[in-house]
Amino acid sequence: MLVKHSVISNIGRLSSLSPSSSVLRRQQFLVRTLCGSRFNPLKLIRAMSSTSEADAESILRTITPSLDPKRHKGQAGKIAVIGGCREYTGAPYFAAISALKIGADLSHVFCTKDAAPVIKSYSPELIVHPVLEESYSISEFSEEDKRKVQDKVIGEVDKWMERFDCLVIGPGLGRDPFLLECVSKIMLLAKKSNVPFVVDGDGLFLVTNSVDLVKSYPLAVLTPNVNEYKRLVQKVLNCEVDEQNAEDQLRSLAKQIGGVTILRKGKSDLISNGETVKSVSIYGSPRRCGGQGDILSGSVAVFLSWAQQLKSGPESQKNSSPSENPAILGCIAASGLLRKAAALAFAKHKRSTLTSDIIECLGESLEDISPAS
């Protein structure tokens, strides 16, 4: 037992973990492992050192590009949100406007015809394409005409695909079967063009039922909330969510889906691509108003694009770009910034804090970490 105690304290010194609640849970799990009959110090050391609280602020500083007058419109990011239907117009708006507020140059929304005028009315900054169709609008069509409509939808998105740095698929998409079939074809197009995509909201409903759509695509990021994560774990790992062993389960899930990046939202955000697991536990806000996940998905798209630019740009030759993969960096940066902005918005608005208030604080929060000049 003495040996076990010294192993624990040495691991404690070796690991640079900060005392977030997920880390505490993990330590409790490890102590249980230690006291159990199958004590394996090597396994324990590996487990202890594999999850760490990410330094989100330092990553934000590294990947946020400077505002160079030589750069032209588009270079700071062209994002497209695929979402917005009769029921939900707020979610795609939140994701698309957050991308602009962080610093992307252009933000598009591909939504249904009904949702488009509403989304346009929220902001003249967004480029809104009323191209998606739901079953009710084609219910009288023959199978052949339905095919034609589908081809037209895909064609409209395809015209733009190569120009986008990242897609956000799912905020306010709804679950209409015809619409989701079109969206699965849009995912195939994105993969063909090597365009990264973030899957959120109803996009995760689609992917959970057809995991092959994202399997082994390294440029896919999934951002499930509690419910969406539960459904994904049940479908892919065929078991229930294990809170006591959250990091290892997340790693297995990401690995099982072929190394996609998963950002599991919660009290602490946990991020894994099947290899490393990082956490972001910066204190955000106690308000749980709807739409904060939409800010997150739009933000991941921008930061992922910036991290990827850094990796492929001249900085990478100077060995000054971070070694971590751009999807992981994008998730850490987005989670850190959202939490900072939520804290700032809450300080100002308290109980009446809304998602729009948090969006208003994105710029100030990023400025605090990475000043424009």
Ligand X SMILES: Nc1ncnc2c1ncn2[C@@H]1O[C@H](COP(=O)(O)OP(=O)(O)OP(=O)(O)O)[C@@H](O)[C@H]1O
Tokens linked to 125? 């900054």
DSSP letters of 249-261? HHHHHHHHTTS-E
Closest CB to ligand X among 48 and 358? Answer: 358
Minimum Å gap between C-beta 200 and Mg ion is 6
Q: Report whether 287 belongs to an annotated binding site.
A: yes
Q: Is 289 exposed, middle or buried (0-12, 13-18, 19+ CB in 10 A)?
A: middle
Query: What is the tally of helices (H) and strands (E) in the chain?
Result: 16, 10
Q: Report whether 170 belongs to an annotated binding site.
A: no
In the chain, the N- to C-terminal Cα span, in Å, equals: 56
Point out which span in 139-147, 291-299, 304-312, 320-328 binds ligand NPW (CB under 6 A).
291-299
Helix (H) or strand (E) holding 103: none
Point out which span in 34-42, 68-76, 199-207, 229-237 binds Mg ion (CB under 5 A).
199-207
| Subset of residues 73 to 102 that bind ligand NPW, contact rule: CB under 6 A | 88, 90-91
CA dihedral of residues 119, 329, 252, 212 (deg, nearest 10) = 50
Tokens linked to 142? 């023959």
**Contact status: 266 vs ligand X (CB under 6 A):** yes
- List, in order, residues 6 or more apart from 110 with CB less than 8 Å away: 80, 81, 82, 83, 84, 129, 131, 132, 156, 157, 186
**Contact status: 225 vs ligand NPW (CB under 6 A):** yes
Q: Report whether 231 belongs to an annotated binding site.
A: yes
Q: What is the largest CA-CA distance in the chain?
A: 76
Minimum Å gap between C-beta 337 and ligand X is 10
The Cα–Cα gap between 27 and 12 comes to 9
Q: Report whether 314 belongs to an annotated binding site.
A: no
Query: Binds 292, which of ligand X, ligand NPW, Mg ion, none (CB < 5 to 8 A, cut-off by type)?
Result: ligand X
Phi, psi dihedral angles at 93 (to 5 degrees): -65, -50
Q: Taking CB under 6 A as the rule, which mask of x and - marks residues 215-254 in contact with ligand X?
A: ----------x-----------------------------
- Options 284, 291, 293, 336; binder of Mg ion; rule CB under 5 A: 293
Q: Report whether 285 belongs to an annotated binding site.
A: yes
Number of residues that bind ligand NPW (CB under 6 A): 16
| Subset of residues 190 to 209 that bind ligand X, contact rule: CB under 6 A | 201
Residues lying near Mg ion in the complex (CB under 5 A): 201, 293
Binding site per annotation, positions: 172, 225-231, 265-269, 284-294
